[in-house]
Amino acid sequence: MDKLCAFREIAGDAKAVIFDFDNVLVDSEPFHYRAYARVFGAKGHTLDPDEYWLEWTSKGAGAEGEISRHALPFDPAAIRAEKDPIYSSFCVSGTIPFFPEALRIIEGFRADGRVMAIASGSYAWDVRALLHGAGLEGLFRAVVGKDGVKKTKPDPETYLRALEALGIDAAESFAVEDAEKGVVAAHEAGMKVITIETDVTKGFDLGGSDLHLSGLGEFYGLMLEAGMGGPKG
């Protein structure tokens, strides 16, 4: 099946689109890295960016994984407690940009009358701060972050909570992801998944999504080819 047919099969009749947030809609992963690098650096440990993109961004090993891999004498909860306000300051300052193609995709689904939600591994208040700064918050019916679940991705709870908030079945929706942990989570929630490759995930195993695309530009191009979000009439 070619990509256009696969895209139509996944998205054509879907009532809802549930987006991951970091590295899908916003170019935020470098800022998560900067915040963690500042905290670890103050304690004498340097974060390797390539290792970070793989182990943290894609696999979701987090601070626990970094501490375990390098046998560091740190408490992951204390690390996060120092990192979180640094990252939040980036969110409220307007420093973190939305990808231009993401804005076009969001507007296209809005024009089509699709329901949209966000299922993120970040805190919901950080997601909402970025949406608010871009004037987009009203376009998403639900925002579920790690503060709204007991278990984060790859556990399916984040997607299940988003579906519950929308009142829509998994079969009537699909997820847009960039990481292996998110693909696993969405599939276990019963959803189909489109993955987006980005500069920081190029070449990674993204967990066997239903359709893998080279970037947001290809995603938007397929939307237009499928007659979604473009000029009507």
DSSP symbols for 72-139 = ----HHHHHHHHHHHHHHHHHHT-SPBPHHHHHHHHHHHHTT-EEEEE-SS-HHHHHHHHHHTT-GGG
What is the value of pTM for the model shown?
0.89
**Domain edges within the chain:** 3-27+97-225, 29-93
CA atoms within 13 A on the CB side of 163: 22
Q: What is the CATH number of domain 3-27+97-225?
A: 3.40.50.1000
Q: Identify the pLDDT of residue 60.
A: 73
The mean pLDDT value for 93-109 works out to 95
pLDDT tens-digit map of 43-70: 999 999 989 888 887 777 889 999 999 9
**How many other C-beta atoms lie within 10 A of the C-beta of residue 213?**
20
Q: Identify the pLDDT of residue 233.
A: 42
pLDDT tens-digit map of 187-232: 999 999 999 998 877 777 776 899 999 999 999 999 999 999 865 5
Handedness of CA 51, 155, 165, 193 (dihedral sign): positive
Confidence of residue 16 (pLDDT cuts 50, 70, 90): very high
